[in-house]
Chains A and B, each alone.
Chain A
Amino acid sequence: MTPGMEHDLMRLLHGELPADEARVLRARVFREPELAETYRRLEQTWHGLSLPPASPIPPGFTGRVMAHVRTQAGSGSLSWSAAPGWVRATAAAALVTGAVLGIGVGRTLPAPRGDTDSGAETSQTFLSATAETSLADSYWSLIEDATAADAETEAQP
């Protein structure tokens, strides 16, 4: 039995063969025991597949759907899932371009030197600290420093 013939038998079983081809194949199945056996096996497999009947339509289903639809129509809000593909693609492209540009600019611009601003100093400390310790540790140490500074300010008369 060739796979091609089995495909044809399956199509016969599913009513997918053109009428004239189906007639010819049915006649062969009737005559040839091997074909008949394969067909019977396919039929058994196919009809052996059964599932319980689907649940009935829940009462008020249309009403519930329409209530949501009206809310959606009334709000007129744009959701990403509802937006056309090109809008989503453009937004994603803009996001990626922005991120790439940001990284590029950050890498090419020289680091500020001789800046005495305390905020810049803090950032420098933070950045140099991250190189040695983990980002989370540096973050927490910055918070602790800030909290300690606040406490000192509050303690002063």
Chain B
Amino acid sequence: MTTDSATSAAADPGWEALARVAAGDVEAFALLVESHQERLLRLCERLLGDAEESRDAAQEVFLKAFCKAGDVRPQGQVYTWLYRIAVNHCLNKLRRRRLVRFLRWDDPAEEAPAFDPPDGAADPAAVLEARRQWQMTRQAIARLPENQRLVLTLVRFEGLSYREVAEVLRITEGAVESRLFRAMRRIEAAQEAQRSGVSMKEARR
């Protein structure tokens, strides 16, 4: 594992860019931004659920990474390090937001942001179905405990392996697996409840 990390660290050109940044070459950081902006923006959007806020968050994450460039030790891939900063940053934002929501007595699952239908979606029924599905997913994920939500988001929507998630969250692969399993159980129950809710509504018509 250590040898793997060392090998992949050596292979990732991002570490070299970070070393140049630490040595005072500020412009070398642009390379890092260009390479990782897409996945960081996407991750922030998945975690925060708001495109506008995610842009600010991703920008702040890059700034934090820039400030930490001198302290970081090359280990694994640069993106797992960036993901770790992003996850912690978004969690802090979410905790602040949750506090505000708690003070306002809001339901977290009601906070589903509006969405635009995909371009060129000709079939209104398909658009409606996609919308229903997204809404359900958001609500189900919002109701998960934080540690399960993170693991699920990173595996399902970011396509990370268990090992990568373990690296990002600094937990064991076993913990990743068990959190994911519990998340799956809850999601399954939510989907089931929703399906029976829908069929009950249909039966009443």
20 contacts between A and B (CB under 8 A): A7-B178, A16-B162, A45-B184, A48-B136, A50-B134, A51-B46, A54-B41, A54-B42, A55-B41, A61-B58, A62-B33, A62-B34, A65-B62, A66-B27, A69-B29, A69-B62, A69-B66, A73-B66, A82-B64, A82-B68
* B33 lies within 8 A of A72 (CB): no
B82 to chain A: closest CB distance in Å? Answer: 12
Which of B2-10, B99-107, B153-161 is near enough to bind chain A? Answer: B153-161
Chain B residues 88-144 with CB under 8 Å of chain A are: 115-116, 118, 130, 133-134, 136-138, 140-141
What are the interface flags for A47-84 relative to B under an 8 Å C-beta threshold, 1 for contact and 0 otherwise?
A: 01111111101100110111011101100000101101
Label chain A's interface by main secondary structure: helix
In the complex, B16 has a CB within 8 A of chain A: no
In angstroms, Cα B70 to Cα A84, docked, is: 10
Known: A7-B181, A50-B130, A50-B137. A65 touches B187 (CB 8 A): no
* B59 lies within 8 A of A64 (CB): yes
What are the interface flags for B33-51 relative to A under an 8 Å C-beta threshold, 1 for contact and 0 otherwise?
A: 1100110011001100001
Question: Which chain A positions have C-beta within 8 A of B33?
Answer: 61-62, 65-66
Question: Which chain B positions have C-beta within 8 A of A6?
Answer: 181
Question: Which chain A positions have C-beta within 8 A of B187?
Answer: 45, 48-49
* B67 lies within 8 A of A82 (CB): yes
Determine which of A41, A62, A79, A84 lies in contact with B37 in the assembled complex, contact meaning CB atoms within 8 Å. A62
User: Which B residues lie at the A interface, using CB under 8 A?
Assistant: 26-27, 29-30, 33-34, 37-38, 41-42, 45-46, 51, 54-55, 58-59, 62-64, 66-68, 71, 115-116, 118, 130, 133-134, 136-138, 140-141, 152, 155-157, 161-162, 177-178, 180-181, 184, 187-188, 191
In angstroms, Cα B178 to Cα A46, docked, is: 15
Count, chain A residues at interface, CB 8 A? 35
B184 to chain A: closest residue by CB: A45
* A48 lies within 8 A of B133 (CB): yes
Question: Which chain B positions have C-beta within 8 A of A48?
Answer: 133, 136-137, 187, 191
In the complex, A42 has a CB within 8 A of chain B: yes
B115 to chain A: closest residue by CB: A52
In the complex, A28 has a CB within 8 A of chain B: no
B55 to chain A: closest residue by CB: A58
A23 to chain B: closest CB distance in Å? Answer: 19
In angstroms, Cα B55 to Cα A42, docked, is: 34
Chain A residues 1-39 with CB under 8 Å of chain B are: 3, 6-7, 10-11, 14, 16
Question: Which chain A positions have C-beta within 8 A of B26?
Answer: 69-70, 73
Question: Which chain B positions have C-beta within 8 A of A41?
Answer: 188
* B59 lies within 8 A of A53 (CB): no
Known: A50-B130, A50-B133, A81-B64. A62 touches B30 (CB 8 A): yes
B68 to chain A: closest residue by CB: A82
In angstroms, Cα B27 to Cα A62, docked, is: 11
In angstroms, Cα B155 to Cα A55, docked, is: 19
